[in-house]
Structure 1
Amino acid sequence: MKLVFAGGGTGGHLYPALAIAQSWKENHPNDEILFVGTPRGIETTVVPKYGFPLYLLPVEGIPRRVSWETLKKLLLIPKSLINAFIFLKKEKPDMVVGTGGYASFPVVFAATLLKIPTVIHEQNAYPGVANKILAVKVDAVCLTFGEAGKRMKAKNFYETGFPVRREFHTNAEKRNELRKKLGVGIDELLLVAFGGSQGALTINKVVGYLLPEIMRRPNLRLIWATGPRNYENLRQKYKNLPERVQMVPYIDNMPEVLPAADLAITRAGAATLAEIAASKVPAVLIPYPYAAENHQEHNARAFVNHGAAILLRDAECSEDLVRATILPLLDSPEKLVRMAENAGKMLRQDSLQEIIGIMEWLLKQKSNKKN
């Protein structure tokens, strides 16, 4: 059996695909799994570390905003579809799974035309353009949030929750071991700040507001992912940081870092929140304000309402408000523990099992039709 996974560009699209692929391989160790991505995405460095072959196709995604750039990309879609057709005809997979991103649309769309069984996963409450188009053609649409089904048409919807890589679940139970490995002392607090795989200017600004206090408190440690584009400028701006303040472009070992944290400062994408929940970590959430239908704030409020996070709006992140919101948390270890416990309750535990079950059922249906 051969399966193709198409998803990437950013971590929010790639990591769900990796989680599903890992789980499938555990259940079907003899099956072959291939990933399809583009040269521009983080999949070029991440997927090989997981041991899966990666095929790079010169494909383009569907832009959300209307512009001259949009028109150029729309003209490239036929070429992307041809590339996807050629790839699928050559590999002859038994199933194609799409999780969004540049490569997902043309590969999944081509698979539907070739009558290959197809499954897509929509991570957000407000579906992306590509998944809205694909939903009416694929065999199964898996949803993190059931309400996303109200915003798209499909043959079959399944509310499965968000598939999280197994390392987050296992490492959440090894917190002390991870902290020791990272050099975090018994009496120290570890803050982890990141803005997704591309970084976030507002997250970096917020950390800048907190740095003087972090420098004054010897019991505070910080791992700060600036994003690749911002790293050099910030490294020059904040020279001679102590060893306990670690600035990096990107955290590529997040399953070993996030579960060790006492507090995360981050955006509120569905992937990030699922990993926070699996890691049982409290968070200060600063939703990306330009996300479709403001879905990140919608995501964040669910965590806030369950006592797992505190919300700061991007436009309101003044130095005074940031310090007044975050510094008291650092002086309230009991509150952080309660928030961590609540975060752990936010994740659906059987997401991967359900998605794998749907895939197995579709393949069985295909086999029965052949017979």
Structure 2
Amino acid sequence: MIKVEYIILTGGTGGHVIPAVNFANYLIKNDRKCILILDKRGDLYAKNFLGKKIIINSDYFSKNILKSLKASFFLFTSFFYTLFLFLSIKPQKCLSFGSYSTFSPLLAALILKLFFKTKIYLHEQNSFIGKVNNFFVPFVDKIFLNYENTLNFKKKYYSKSILSGMPNIYNKKNIRDIYVKNKQISIFISGGSQGAINMNKLLLNIIIKLPQNITDKLNLTIQSSLNEKENLQKIIKNYIKNYSIEPFFNNYIEKLISSDLLISRSGAGTVNDVIISRTPSLFIPYPYSTRNHQTHNARYLVDKSAALIIEQKNLSNDESFDQIYNFISNFEMRYKIFCKLKNIQLQNANEIIISNIK
């Protein structure tokens, strides 16, 4: 097998996979040889990758004994599979973007680091360091951070950290220079790469209660699993004339640019895309995210008055209805949020990472 310079590890959700794909494509476009290693679940979000992919088996541990046994088996087999792979291609550098699926390949990479001096790097997307990254940070060369004040990141490893931001496909086409008032109000409801059944139902039951002079102006785009499409249609078909329901959007930033506002979960990738596209947003953090990291992600913008936030448990109360009504109907409110987003400077993560990998 041909030797490669870079191995990129990722998997699981779009929040881990999409920035990994963005950086890997950046390498390929700059004539660097790299291979992307990820699990079957993560491959759903890697359709835009330009290079060679290797799919491994992985699963997360749970209270279900059979599921945990399956995860243990995959952990064991994936370790030996990636170890033999790495021994055959002897990569010079390995960069991991987190997720449970990267644990076995990182263990294998540590053996290459010991015998072949392979450099190992991590990237943490969230405001709270993930379990796999937290486990491996003592053994790696550097860790790149998306948030300056990453929670649960031990001070003794600060010297290894570099604030890079999130690898993205940043270009002038992805930036909203002006925010204008349209006759129709385009709303993008997004539950992240996995959709959000409960959030979508709660939101739609709020939206159909808005005054008719507002609902007549709405153009809804809803990200949801196809299994839930019929149930959501039953809720809105008699109230909203213009709507579409899709399971996933590969052109996510373009979708944001074409929307007047976003109501969404607050994964790190979504927060980053909101800053790039300057889309006024209301975040509803996933209430079961690990150590509540989605709330911390959202707070990065909320504390700058550059976004709104509502906890999912509060969606049924009158105060939340008023907040959503005002956000949708009040152009001036959304314009002020747009201006705050315009003042936030994004770093070029691709260039920062490549310049610090030696």
TM-score (norm 1): 0.83
Residues 306 and 53 (structure 1 numbering): CA distance in 2 closer, same or farther, change over 3 Å?
same
What CA deviation, in whole Å up to 9, does each residue of 1:282-307 have, x standing for no partner? 11111111222222212222211211
1:53-202 map, 5 Å: 53-61=52-60, 63=61, 68=65, 69-70=67-68, 72-115=70-113, 116-148=118-150, 150-152=152-154, 154=157, 156-166=160-170, 170-173=173-176, 186-202=182-198
User: What does residue range 337-352 of structure 1 map to in structure 2 within 5 Å?
Assistant: 337-352=335-350
The amino acid that maps onto 2:288 is Y
Partner AA of 1:263 in structure 2: L
**Distance in 1 of aligned mates of 2:279 and 2:332:** 13
Which residue type is aligned with residue 193 of structure 1?
A: I
The residue type equivalent to 1:59 in the other structure is S
Q: Which amino acid aligns with 2:34?
A: I
Structure 2 distance, partners of 1:291, 1:346, is 26
**How far did 1:254 drift?**
0.7
| Identity across matched positions, percent | 25
How far has the Cα of 1:324 moved from its partner? Answer: 0.7
Residues 278 and 232 of structure 1, relative CA distance in 2, 3 Å threshold: same
What is the CA–CA distance in structure 2 between the aligned matches of 1:314 and 1:103, rounded to whole Å? 29
Distance 1:237 1:149, change over 3 A: closer
State the 1:163 CA deviation. 2.3
Give how far 1:137 is off.
1.5
Q: Report the equivalent of 2:36.
A: 35
Partners of 1:149 and 1:113 in 2: how far apart? 29
For 1:191-230, list aligned pairs within 5 A. Answer: 191-204=187-200, 205-213=202-210, 216-217=213-214, 218-230=216-228
Any idea what the Cα deviations from partners look like across 1:195-236, whole Å, max 9, x if unmatched? 111111232021332035387533321111123453343345
Q: Does 1:20 align with 2:17?
A: no
1:11 maps to 2:8: no
| Pair 1:7–1:229, CA change in 2 (3 A) | farther
Distance 1:239 1:338, change over 3 A: closer
Gaps spanning 5+ residues in structure 2: where? none
* RMSD between superposed Cα atoms in Å: 2.7
Judged with a 3 Å threshold, the aligned counterparts in structure 2 of structure 1 residues 309 and 92 are, in CA distance, closer, same or farther, namely: same
Distance 1:346 1:67 in 2: 44
**Secondary structure, in 3 states, of the residue corresponding to 1:47?**
coil
Letter in 2 for 1:281: T
Q: Residues of 1 paired with 2:93 and 2:144: CA distance?
A: 15
1:254 corresponds to: 252
**Which deviates more, 47-56 or 68-77?**
68-77
Q: In structure 2, give the amino acid aligned to 1:40.
A: R
Within-5 A mapping of 1:252-291:
252-291=250-289
Asked if the contact 1:206–1:319 (Cα under 8 Å) also holds between the matched residues in 2, the reply is no
Q: How many angstroms apart in 2 are the aligned matches of 1:275 and 1:324?
A: 26
Conserved 8 A contact 1:162-1:271: yes
CA shift for structure 1 position 239: 4.6
Q: Which AA in structure 2 matches 1:58? A: N
Structure 1 range deviating more: 333-342 or 201-210:
201-210
Give the Cα–Cα distance (whole angstroms) in 2 for the partners of residues 223 and 208 of structure 1: 15
**Secondary structure, counterpart of 1:223 in structure 2:** strand
SS of 2:40's equivalent? coil
Q: 1:158 to 1:260 in 2, by over 3 A?
A: same
CA shift, 1:99, in A, is: 0.5
1:314 equivalent in alignment to 2:315: no
Alignment counterpart, residue 298 of structure 2, candidates 300, 317, 332:
300
CA distance in 2, matches of 1:170, 1:214: 35
If the length of structure 2 is used for normalisation, what is the TM-score? Answer: 0.86
Residue 49 of structure 2 is matched in structure 1 by 50
Q: 1:193 to 1:221 in 2, by over 3 A?
A: same
Unaligned runs of 5+ residues in structure 1 are 180-184, 363-371
State the shift of 1:174 in Å. Answer: 7.5
Q: Measure, in 2, the Cα distance between the counterparts of 1:58 and 1:215.
A: 50
Secondary structure in 2 matching 1:321: helix
